[in-house]
Amino acid sequence: MAEIQEQFVALLETLASPDNEIRNRGEEQYNSIPAEQRINLLLTAIKSSDQPHLRSFASILLRRLLTNSWEVFVNCSEEDQNAFKAQLLEILKNESDEGARKKLCDTVSEVARNSQDGEGNANWSELLKFMFYCCNAGTSQHKESALSILNSVPDIFGSAQQNYLTLIKEMLFASLNDPDHPNVRFAAIKATCAFLSCCSEDIAKKHFSDFVKPMLKGVEDCVMAEDDDGPLKSFVDLAESIPKFLRPGLDQIMEFGIRVIANTNFADNWRQLVLELVITICEAAPAMARKKEKYIGPLVVQMLKMMTDLEDEDNWAQEDEVEDIDSDENCVAAEAALDRLACALGGKVVLPHIITAVPPMLQSEDWKHRYAGLMAISASAEGCKKAMESGLHNIVMACLPYVSDSHPRVRFACCNALGQLATDFSPVFQKKMHSKVLPGLILLLDDNDNPRVQSHCAAALVNFFEECPQGVLLPYLPNLCQKMQSTLEKKTMELLSTERKLVLEQIITTIATIADTAETHFRPYYSMFMPNLKYIMENANNKELRLLRGKTIECISLIGLAVGKDVFLSDAEQIMDMLLKAQTDEGEEMEADDPQVSYMISAWARMCKIIGPQFTVYLPVVMPPLLRAAQLKPEIALIDSDDELDEDDGWEFISLSDQKRFGIKTAGLEDKNTACQMLVCYARELKEGFAEYTEQVVKIMVPLLKFYFHDLIRSAAAEALPYLLESVKSKGDDYVKQMWNYICPELLKSLQTEAEPDILAVIMESVASCIEVLGVGFIDGLQMEELIEALKKHLKKNYDKEEERKEARKDEDYDEEVEEGIEDELDQDDYILGKIADIIHSLYGVYGDNFTPMFDKLTDYFVAMLAPERPSLEHQWALCVFDDLIDFAPNSVQKYQHHFIQPMMTYIYNNSPGVRQAAAYGIGALAIKFPGQNTQYSEVLNNALPRLFNVINTAESKEVENLSATENCVSAVSKIFKHVIGIENLDEPTIQTWLSWLPIKEDQEEGPMVYGLLMDLVESENQYVLGKNNINLPEIVKIIAEAIINKTIRSTENAELMGRIERFLTPLQSSPDLWRAILTQLPDTHQQLLSGQS
């Protein structure tokens, strides 16, 4: 046995060898030893080796072995397990080397963690006794060991924690206040932070409030020593999980934090970590932090000073290859912190300090201060958006002079600020500031001596035009295109002569954005750009130019989409051939990391939109790489802290504990996302033309509903499903049923479990669309039951969240900003409730009265939502659901009328336009479904009329926010007139009042009904409408013209109504004098429209 052990110790030496060949042979030999034998050999090596590094190494290997092969240990006899654990504790108790002891603590922690049962009990009572012994009677090294174990396994006490709480407090408090051993205090901070993070905030505040002071003292000592940053990092984690526990020490934290941040004698990483602590508290408990406003100004000042910590780089502005931003630099860390602070605390608190501090920086002779001041505007814009809106003009005017600053990096920062403001304040920024901003940016495109500035200027134009209303762009389009074309030519020539490509890459993206916004208005400029772009696409063949070629492909396809098939057709075949050639890369598949891949995938999808069904001939070439990209599986790893993976290779990590990190290789994820989005596009655009690929695609997409590494991939997966079902309808009902049965379980599971509201909304849209695509006969009883249960879960969650909001309003930190956050949350809930209502709309639309038995299981939730004390968004969506019941299941109305009729009448007068609109629509639906004066609802409908009249006639009824609701009221009145009262029974004052409410300007759903009633009255030659001697004809014609201009009547969707209108207008147009007399009373726009109609 001794000989075997000696051989094993020698083997450990080979495993630690720097020589790869020796180490690989050692690993093969090591892995060939049975796991149970390895456990014993490693334990013996830890116990008997006189070399600390070998004991450490053996502990690491033992921990990894137990992590990966715990079942081997569990299969040992209970006696052997207990003996192993006892030896482990004895070795730890006697270990004298600090490094070896720490590794051994990690191993003990791993055993404890794996020994826990379902309730978290460690089932290792000897360990708990050992820990208490170490902290109470042991040496400082023993105390560190016990605290290290608690830090690693903070829930080690399991369900018995309450019984041990007094002992735990005593153990931790004594260690936090150890007068002689700083390392014990530091270890105690980490252990206490870990332990409290596992407790509720209430328990922490109730039982451990006296810990805050000694913990802060320890953290300050740790920072002053600048040795081990672990305690400070643990304190940051604590601040994130239970921030209000730190309330008693908040002043001390803020004062100390600002002192350290301001002290340049501290190393940068320590200053940044202390800044992280302060920002984390502000993010985790913003209302609590806002009460300490006296610290916010000094904090902002220190962050701005850190942002000036920049290096002078002689050739910075001339660099053609731009390196990734180093997040460890003070200027970058401080800028990110300012962004987070503004988002956390809001503009009312942060913006005044920005406004005070930034102007002197902008006036400084030091370029670094001017640069930092402009970057501060960029960084704070998102979080200060509401507070900035009223002063946006002044902020922009303060930035603009620096477009022509003497220093290129300041000009760069100015572009950055203007671009960020354009994004954060769109479209208001574009509408109000275009005449101020665009001339300066366009002029800066001539900064040829400083390509980084030139490129960033072009990027700022992308920000400006991405969300720019088309009407704002069009006046600039001729000169802008001329500038873009000349810059494109210059930079193409520059590429050929100097191989510089930075500006060219960006200017091509800017051209693409302009074309995308201009749409068909870009047609006159098509020939200015396409020859040059085709040249680049055809000739940018070497590896260094792949990104340029990819962006060019994107630009060409966006231009094609903008100008339309007829203009693009002359180049389409050549471009498709070049795309095919690029796809195969001269006969070889493109490399996985080729940046062209994602651009090409998107370009093919745009070509599909342009060409339409004829695109199917290209699918055999397009689909293979697309499917490969969509099926890419990211590399993931659960690794020890001792292992190394290079983040520069695309790995991102989350620390799970001191010993474990979860890593994912993000390279390729964006290509996967792009591919999934494009599969959605093909299924949507090609319909049955995509049927051949649906089986492959559905097998890719359904599992991606739980792809939690990327939200947009889950979104695309959900979005694709109804289009795939639509595509396979041509294959027959059996095939559709088979595909639905494959989709349904995972789709309904994701409906139950998706945590991200935006993705949940897409999943709900997918469910609603699937119901409509499938129709009757595909969703079986069990599937319907599961769907209803999922909806019940979300409705209950909505109810619970409203109760939580009530409690939040009672919180001691409640303030105006908290209320704004609640309002934002309500907007999110409003969106989700709307999607739930959409699903019920689809179910009633497909199944009609047959859905009512299932709806019974949801009724109580919607009835509760109609209660007066519930928020208006609940009133709105509950009414919408009952509106659908009236529309699609009229035979069920009587069953539920006592729940919704009275609320519907009451909420006609509600303050919320959305509620009024839903109530009015329901009244109108009742009129259609139960026509005549002698129905059970005729009294209700007649009583609704004065309420509807009052709402329509209020002074504010035509304001923008009220218009849709008002027009629904007009429509409801019209429906009652037509279906209940009868137009022949309407008197002159009533008709004149009704006529005064027209035109309907916004509601494209209800407009045709209202105008249909108008035509009923005109065709019946109703004199109250036409007036004496047809005096009202110009007004009627004007109303009709308004309807066409506002697109509330559309020729394709409302063909029957348009035919009636033409029949009304034709006799008038046939009488030139009469028609001329009518036209002269109308505005020019109406005359032009009607002249075209004649």
Give the tens place of pLDDT for each residue, 852-872: 999 999 999 999 999 999 999
Tokens of 327: 């997040």
Residue-level pLDDT at 689: 93
Q: Which of 270-274, 931-935, 1064-1068 has the highest mean pLDDT?
A: 270-274
The band of 1080, judged by pLDDT with boundaries at 50, 70 and 90, is confident
| Residue 200 exposed, middle or buried by CB count within 10 Å (0-12, 13-18, 19+) | exposed
Give the list of residues 6+ apart from residue 156 with CB closer than 8 angstroms, or none: 112, 116, 120, 122, 127, 128, 149, 150
Instruction: Identify the pLDDT of residue 839.
Output: 97
Structure confidence at residue 373 (pLDDT): 97
Q: Is the pLDDT of residue 484 over 50?
A: yes
Contact 711, 756 (CB under 8 A): yes
437 pLDDT band, cuts 50/70/90, is very high
- Gap between the Cα atoms of 941 and 826, Å rounded: 32
Q: Is residue 643's pLDDT more than 70?
A: no
pLDDT band at 589 (very low <50, low <70, confident <90, very high): low
The rounded distance, in Å, linking the Cα atoms of 360 and 697 is 58
User: Given a cut of 80, is residue 648 above it in pLDDT?
Assistant: no
Query: Which contacts (CB < 8 Å, 24+ apart) does range 535-540 have?
Result: 535/492, 536/492, 536/504, 536/508, 537/575, 537/578, 537/582, 538/578
Going edge to edge, which strands form the sheet with 636-640?
A: 636-640, 660-665, 651-655
Residue 666 near residue 649, CB atoms below 8 Å: no
Residues 6+ apart with CB under 8 A from 987: 1024
| Identity of residue 225 | A
Q: Is the pLDDT of residue 535 over 80?
A: yes
Number of residues in the chain: 1094
Which residue in the block uniquely carries the two structure tokens 């038995």? 853
Q: Report which of 604, 626, 601 is spatially closest to residue 617, judged by C-alpha positions.
A: 604
Least confident of 580-589, 619-628, 639-648, 893-902: 639-648
pLDDT score of 512 more than 60: yes
Judge whether 195 and 172 are in contact, CB under 8 Å: yes
Pull the structure tokens for residue 229: 């940053």
Q: Note the pLDDT of residue 639.
A: 63
What is the DSSP secondary structure assignment for residue 590, as one 8-state letter? Answer: P
897, 899, 947: which is closest to 926 by C-alpha? 897
Q: Is the pLDDT of residue 893 over 50?
A: yes
Q: What's the confidence (pLDDT) of residue 138?
A: 72
Summarised one tens digit per residue, pLDDT across range 23-81 is 888 889 989 999 889 999 999 999 988 899 999 999 999 999 998 889 988 888 889 89
CA 585-589-594 angle, to 5 degrees, is 80
Q: Give the residue with greater pLDDT, 977 vs 18.
A: 977
Bridge partners (DSSP) listed for residue 662: 638, 654
Q: Which of 317, 411, 315, 398 is nearest to 354 (CA)?
A: 398
**Confidence at residue 813, expressed as pLDDT on a 0 to 100 scale:** 82
Taking 70 as the threshold, does the pLDDT of residue 661 lie above it? no
**Which residue, among 758, 760, 669, 671, has the nearest Cα to 710 in the 3D structure?**
669
Arithmetic mean of pLDDT, 543-564 = 94
Q: What is the pLDDT at residue 1055?
A: 83
CB 250 within 8 A of CB 813: no
Alpha helical stretches, state H, 49-176: 52-68, 70-74, 78-94, 98-115, 125-137, 140-152, 161-176
* pLDDT tens, position by position, 439-450: 999 999 999 999
What was the pLDDT predicted at 657?
52
In the chain, pLDDT over 90 holds for what percent of residues? Answer: 67
Q: What is the pLDDT of residue 901?
A: 96
Query: Over 80: is that where the pLDDT of 944 sits?
Result: yes
Instruction: Measure the CA–CA gap between 828 and 1037, rounded to whole angstroms.
Output: 43
Q: pTM of the prediction? A: 0.82
| Cβ-based neighbours of 248, under 8 Å, separated by 6 or more | 209, 212, 213
Tokens for 647, please give them.
């983040």
Per-residue pLDDT for 279 more than 60? yes
Q: Calculate the alpha carbon distances from 366 to 316, 406, 407, 409 in Å.
A: 17, 11, 10, 12
Q: Is the pLDDT of residue 1058 over 60?
A: yes
pLDDT of residue 212: 93
Query: What's the rounded mean pLDDT across residues 404-425?
Result: 96
Please state the separation of Cα 908 from the chain's center in Å: 35
Confidence class of residue 1078 from pLDDT cuts 50, 70 and 90?
A: confident
Pairing of strands 651-655, 636-640: unpaired
Instruction: Give the DSSP H/E element, type plus range, for residue 665.
Output: strand 660-665
Question: Could you give the 3-state DSSP secondary structure of residue 654?
Answer: strand
DSSP string, 902-914: HHHHHGGG-SSHH
For the ranges 196-210, 255-269, 543-557, the lowest mean pLDDT is seen at: 196-210
| Cα-based angle 1011, 1015, 1017 (whole degrees, multiple of 5) | 115
Q: pLDDT at position 587, please?
A: 47
Encode pLDDT of 756-787 as tens digits.
Answer: 999 999 999 999 999 999 999 999 999 999 99
pLDDT digits (tens, 9 = 90+) for 1020-1053: 999 999 888 888 888 888 888 888 888 888 877 7
Q: Which residue has the higher pLDDT, 1082 or 196?
A: 196
pLDDT value at 292 more than 90:
yes
Cα 280 from Cα 291, distance rounded (Å): 16
pLDDT at position 644 is: 56
Q: What would the pLDDT profile of 167-207 be if each residue is shown by its tens digit?
A: 899 999 999 999 889 999 999 999 999 999 988 888 888 88
